[in-house]
């Protein structure tokens, strides 16, 4: 991941959309009649996390929407942030959503596993959306301080 700076409001915008989608997914997963729809929606969410993890937030569809539709309505950001922690957060989201998706592909017998994994992913996304606290970013910073990844 290369060091690039981004508007810090972009990832939060994406977290709002992601939170809504994940909460919808939890709701759909509770009913076995809509469980297949929950797995389908989760496939899309997981693919979106993959885009963010591989290409970064500026290439993510939500990043594009933010840049084209929302940012022109706002004042310039007071400061920019390193793009690597939010991109790492997308990787954490990909892993969590991927685990949930694996439960979904295993079938309805693993409904509770999917619900727990999606709920954990929702919790992390909601922290960013509601409180501007990026759990994945904090993990990245901790790993960087420990010298495990290059800051």
pLDDT, tens digit (0-9, with 9 covering 90-100), for 90-127: 999 999 999 999 999 999 999 999 999 999 999 999 99
pLDDT at 151: 84
Residue 81 pairs in a beta bridge with 6
Over range 137-145, report the average pLDDT. 97
> 32 and 84 in contact (C-beta within 8 Å)?
no
Looking at beta carbons, which pairs linking 23-30 to residues 24 or more positions away fall under 8 Å? 23/122, 25/118, 25/122, 26/115, 26/118, 26/119, 26/122, 29/104, 29/111, 29/114, 29/115, 29/118, 30/115
Decide if pLDDT at 1 tops 60. no
Question: DSSP alpha helices (H): ranges in the chain?
Answer: 9-30, 35-55, 61-65, 84-106, 111-131, 135-145
CA distance 9 to 13: 6
pLDDT, tens digit (0-9, with 9 covering 90-100), for 19-40: 999 999 999 999 999 999 999 9
pLDDT at 2: 54
Residue 107 token pair: 């079938």
Q: Which of 123, 131, 113 is nearest to 23 (CA)?
A: 123
| Percent of residues, the chain, with pLDDT higher than 70 | 99
pLDDT, tens digit (0-9, with 9 covering 90-100), for 27-75: 999 999 999 999 999 999 999 999 999 999 999 999 999 999 999 999 9
Residue 128 token pair: 């960013």
């Amino acid at each position: 991941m290369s060091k690039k700076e981004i508007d810090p409001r972009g990832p939060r915008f994406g977290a709002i959309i992601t939170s809504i989608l994940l909460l919808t997914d939890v709701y759909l997963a509770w009913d076995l009649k809509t469980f297949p729809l929950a797995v389908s929606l989760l496939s899309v969410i997981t693919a979106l996390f993959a885009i963010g993890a591989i290409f970064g937030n500026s290439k993510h569809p939500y990043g594009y929407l933010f840049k084209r539709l929302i940012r022109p309505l706002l004042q310039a950001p007071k400061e920019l942030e390193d793009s690597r922690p939010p991109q790492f957060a997308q990787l954490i989201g990909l892993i969590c959503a991927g685990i949930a998706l694996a439960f979904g592909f295993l079938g309805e017998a693993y409904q509770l596993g999917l619900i727990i994994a999606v709920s954990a992913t929702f919790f992390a996304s909601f922290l960013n959306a509601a409180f501007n606290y990026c759990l994945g970013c904090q993990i990245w910073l901790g790993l960087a301080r420990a010298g495990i990844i290059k800051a």
